[in-house]
Amino acid sequence: MSRKKLIFITGGARSGKSNFAEKMAVDSGKSVAYLATAQPLDEEMAFRIEKHREKRLNTWETYEEPIKVRELVSRLGLEKDTILIDCLTLLTSNLLLRKEEKLEDPEWQEEILLEIEKLAEISFRVPAQVIIVSNEVGMGLVPDNTLGRVYRDILGRANSIIADKADEVFLMVSGIPLKIKG
C-alpha cells in the first residue's frame, strides 16, 4: 500500500480553512474519517460544534477526540482513504491545558511538541491521505497574558513541525487558498 499525501492548511480565523479541507476530503476518496478536536466547554462552543456536525457528510465517520489524535490516525490511517483533522489549533490548546499549572515549564512545552512531532510522523507514514487544519496565530497582536503568549509560541512551533513534514501546505487568505509548499 503506497502512502498518500500529508496536506496542511493554515490561515486566520474564519479564512475558509475548514471548508477548503472538507472539499479536499470530498474530492480525495470514498472513505473519510473526520477527527474533531473541539470540546464543548461553553455554550457558544457547543453551538459551533453542532453547526460543524450538521454540515459534515453523513457518509463520513466522525471521531470527537480532544487529545489522542495520534492514536486515531495510526489506526484509521490503515482503514480510510482520507483523514481530516480539524484542528491542530484546538489539539495544541487541549494538550497545553491538561497541565495548566506547568504552563511556563519548558519541559512540559517540549512534551507537547514531541506529541505534535509524533502526530506529524504518523500522519506522513500512514497510507491514507491526511489533511490537518490549523490557525495561524502569530501574525496578530502579542497576547497581553502569559497563557496567550505561551500558547501562541507553542502553536507556531507546532504549525512549523506539521508544515515541515507536509507534502503540501496551503495558506488561506479571505477564502482563497494559496499553495505555499508542494
**Phi/psi of residue 179, nearest 5 degrees:** -75, 120
Question: What's the CATH code of the domain at 31?
Answer: 3.40.50.300
Q: In a structure prediction context, what are the per-residue pLDDT tens digits for the chain, which is 182 residues long? A: 566 899 999 999 889 999 999 999 998 868 999 999 988 788 888 888 788 777 777 889 999 999 999 999 999 999 999 999 999 999 999 999 998 888 888 999 999 999 999 999 999 999 999 999 999 998 888 889 999 999 999 999 999 999 999 999 999 999 999 999 99
* Number of domains into which the chain is organized: 1
Residue range of the domain that includes 119 = 6-181
Per the DSSP assignment, residues forming a β-bridge with 177 are 172
Question: Is residue 1 domain-resident?
Answer: no
Task: Say if 168 falls within a structural domain.
Answer: yes
Pairing of strands 168-173, 176-181: antiparallel
Catalytically active residues, by annotation: 52
